[in-house]
Amino acid sequence: MRLTEARVAIRPRNPWEAVDLGVLLARQHRRLLMTSWAIVTLPIFALLTVLLWDYPSAAVLLFWWLKPAYERLPLLILSQALFGAAPSLKEALKAWPRALKPQLLASLTWRRFSLSRSFNLPVQQLEGLDGLLRAQRIALLGQRNLRVVRCLTSMGSTLEMCFWIGLMLLFYALIPQQVELDWSWRSLLEIESGWNWLEHLTNAFYALVLIVWEPIYVSCGFALYLNRRTTLEGWDIELAFRRLRQRLVGSAYALLLGVSLVFSFSPSTAMADDTVDESNYSCPLPPLDLPQTEEQLAAPGTARLLSQPLNSEASQSAIKAVLDSPPFKNPKAVSGWRLSDQKRDAKTAKNGDTSQWLTRLVLILLNIGKTLSSVFEALLWTAIALAVAWVTWRYRGWFGTFVSRDTRKPQVRRDAPRQLFGLQVDIESLPDDVASAAEKLWPEAPREALSLLYRALLNRLLTDYQLPLKNADTEGQVLERVAALNQPPLHDFSRELTRHWQNLAYGHQLPASEVQNDLCEGWRRLFTRGAAT
Amino acid sequence: MSPSHAWPSNAAQPAPLDTRVRMETPEGIDLVLRPAGLLSRSLAFAIDLLIRGALLVALFYLLHAFGEFGTGIFVLALFLINWWYMVLFEVLHQGRTPGKQLLGLRVVHDDGTPVGWSASLLRNLLRFVDMLPFGYSVGAFACLQHPFFKRLGDLAAGTLVIYRDAPTARPVLPQVPAIVAPVVLTLEEQRAVLSFAERQDSLSAARAQELAGILIAPLQMPANMPPEQALSQLNGIARGLAGSA
């Protein structure tokens, strides 16, 4: 065992931390530990199952009873892995029978129920102690650790149970429902040899759980043992001392060797001695300027280094000045209103009164618990109602968007265009009575009058009939949309008006005078009457 | 047993396994955190469970006397104790529930800062995943496999359960005259010498002399010096390092 080759950081830990180190140790070598454990235990479990097929509980009990025998294998692996490379799987399995022999009977009988099993195992397996010596050694090592060791074992058994039941539940949850129907509990409770396989299956779960947990358990006990020895024997100190020795003596040897090589050619040996002497001091000692007593040296507040231009007081004040200036301190004046102390006092006094009054009130109210319960009920319901109301109000937009009961696609409300193919069609640009305005305009400016009528029609189509007219639509397309509305009078009127408007606008053909009458009357018939009714 | 294979001397040694985590703050200070493992945490949880159970039973009998009102209050208390006991203690009591307090544990964020509301709520809500399928099996398994012993709740919330640093008592050094170390010692070596002097009572006399014997040559003591004298020399150096106090 060479401490300098230890694969874990050696330092005294508290026992709980030592257990954690054990978990980490087992985690580092988990593949080797779990494989070797499985290779050893699973055949034994299978053998026991076959031999005791009719007694499943006895099989698992025996398997459980033999645990200390298997536990020697992980310890064997861990003890080698700690101070060097871990053994290979084959080496470990070969070494196991040899580690099994000593004190096997004791481990399996009167020491089987010891709660500090994993902690005692290294003493008997690695130190090879037995009888009185072993008892003394365990008493010495276990002085502060026994409580933790017992906690470890009891938690371990609880954990095994939890994992075991957990695995069974998981297995039960994964059975398809059709199969599950046949497994009524009555038939399970009946003592039938047909159900033995199920019990053996649950026993197998226990063997699986042990593969995961037992190496960790052994490793934790081993780590506790190591930790106790580290504290008792100062392993960490030895390690640091050995490194120090390596650093100083190792380098001094090299230097000595070099020096002797150089001076072996020179006749003067006295000079060589001098050089060696100097080389021993890797750093000269600082000169002590004043012979002072220990007390004076120690007191941190006293002025020191008084015989030089920059003494300790001056340097301290300089340091303070630097520390008080901006990069280290940024003083800032903050002004504001605060409660005066007088008022605060008055307030606390008032609070004291209130609490006294409250206690009396609570005492009275507790006597009429029934009333209070209804009051509280009402308050709670109010609170819930308020909360719901607040939530609804706060997220009304969200509700409107996502929880709308209206499944129809909501009407897309678009802004009606104010202009269509260069014509003003918004309501502000039109007179109230379109027909009369057109009649009035007709004698002087028939073009404006017809344009007015057409614009008014477009406006009505946009606003009253909500036609999605676009700037790019032609007059013909507008007519098609009107036709799609399936309103013959409107369609007829629109077609007439559009024809005359196109003739005038593009062909410069004035419509006949009776057309004016027709159109204005048609307009009145369609819109003014519609508006009146 | 086969002799252990020596590690090839030119290969870099892997970092030794340790239970400590170093966390560097933005100020360049190394904080050493010691994550707590399954054993201490499960014990802390068991203590908390007992406290909660006792509290609920006591409350049940106490409030039972007040009829319907009492039942209502009890149900509220049940909710509060079930869901908020851990959270409130962790956030308002420096990451410590009573059970953790007893075992010297506390909950912090991954970077060592005190645990906040969201992290604490998350890690305690996810207890219900860790409990599956029975008796915290998932949580225990995750805890055993994670290098910092985290269960799923800790992984999700980014929290860590660590051992608190207990205030240490002032160490007592052997009363010997102080000596200036004949060579310059690094910080680590100084610490080793100091802890050697501090822990001398717990070491056996023979072991202490054996340890002191290691340093006879490097500290330039005469080679034929008896081990008791080497021991007192080393104690003197420790005193010199500690300064007189």
All structural domains of chain B with their residue ranges: 38-163, 187-242
Please write the tens of the pLDDT for every residue from B166-190: 888 888 888 888 888 888 889 989 9
Closest-CA distance of chain A to residue B213, Å: 10
Please write the tens of the pLDDT for every residue from B115-149: 999 999 999 999 999 988 888 999 999 999 999 99
- Between CA A7 and CA A9 the distance in angstroms is 7
Q: Would you tell me which residues 334-373 of chain A have a C-beta closer than 8 angstroms to some C-beta of chain B?
A: 366, 369-370, 372-373
Q: Would you tell me which residues 129-188 of chain B have a C-beta closer than 8 angstroms to some C-beta of chain A?
A: 132-137, 140-141, 144-145, 147, 149, 163, 178, 180, 182-185, 188
Q: Does A231 touch chain B (CB under 8 A)?
A: yes
> Nearest Cα to A14, choosing from B166, B198, B102?
B166
Which pLDDT score is estimated for A348? 54
A115 contact residues in B (CB cutoff 8 A)? none
Could you identify the residue written with the tokens 């956030």? B91
Decide if A83 and B145 are in contact by the 8 Å CB cutoff.
no
Q: Does B84 touch chain A (CB under 8 A)?
A: no
- Tokens at residue A435, please? 């027909």
Q: Does A46 touch chain B (CB under 8 A)?
A: no
Which pLDDT score is estimated for B1? 38
* Cis peptide leading into residue B133 (ω within 30°): yes
B70 contact residues in A (CB cutoff 8 A)? 369
Decide if A237 and B196 are in contact by the 8 Å CB cutoff.
yes
Decide if A373 and B67 are in contact by the 8 Å CB cutoff.
yes
> Nearest Cα to A142, choosing from A111, A113, A119?
A119
Q: What is the pLDDT along chain A (533 residues), one digit of tens a residue?
A: 678 788 889 999 999 999 999 999 999 999 999 999 999 999 999 999 999 988 989 999 999 999 999 999 999 999 999 888 889 999 999 999 988 888 888 888 888 898 999 999 999 898 888 889 999 998 888 888 889 999 999 999 999 999 999 999 998 888 877 666 566 555 555 555 567 888 899 999 999 999 999 999 999 999 999 999 999 999 999 999 988 888 888 765 555 555 444 444 443 333 334 433 443 444 444 444 444 444 444 456 667 777 777 788 888 899 999 998 887 888 888 888 776 665 555 555 555 566 778 777 766 766 677 777 888 889 999 999 999 999 989 988 888 888 766 555 555 555 666 677 777 777 777 887 888 888 888 888 888 888 888 888 888 888 888 788 777 788 888 888 888 888 888 888 888 888 888 888 888 888 877 787 888 888 888 877 655 44
- Tokens at residue A240, please? 């640091």
Which pLDDT score is estimated for A5? 81
Containing A419, the helix (H) or strand (E) segment is: strand A419-420
Identify which of B37, B68, B184 has the shortest CB distance to residue A20.
B37
What residue of B is the nearest CA neighbor of A3? B16
B215 pLDDT more than 80: yes
DSSP class of residue B241 equals H
Contact A239, A35 (CB under 8 A): no
Decide if B192 and A95 are in contact by the 8 Å CB cutoff.
no
> Nearest Cα to B19, choosing from B42, B46, B43, B37?
B37
Which pLDDT score is estimated for A277? 41
Decide if B34 and A17 are in contact by the 8 Å CB cutoff.
yes
Alpha helix (H) residue ranges in B93-200: 98-103, 117-125, 127-130, 137-145, 152-157, 187-198
Q: Does A33 touch chain B (CB under 8 A)?
A: no
Q: Does B199 touch chain A (CB under 8 A)?
A: yes
Which pLDDT score is estimated for A26? 94
- Tokens at residue A295, please? 């007390």
Could you identify the residue written with the tokens 């380098």? A251
Q: Would you tell me which residues 445-504 of chain A have a C-beta closer than 8 angstroms to some C-beta of chain B?
A: none
B231 contact residues in A (CB cutoff 8 A)? none
Decide if B133 and A169 are in contact by the 8 Å CB cutoff.
yes
Q: Does B23 touch chain A (CB under 8 A)?
A: no
pTM above 0.90, yes or no: no
What residue of A is the nearest CA neighbor of B163? A17
Q: Does A148 touch chain B (CB under 8 A)?
A: yes
Contact A141, A107 (CB under 8 A): no
Helix (H, G, I), strand (E, B) or coil at B109: strand
- Between CA B40 and CA B97 the distance in angstroms is 13
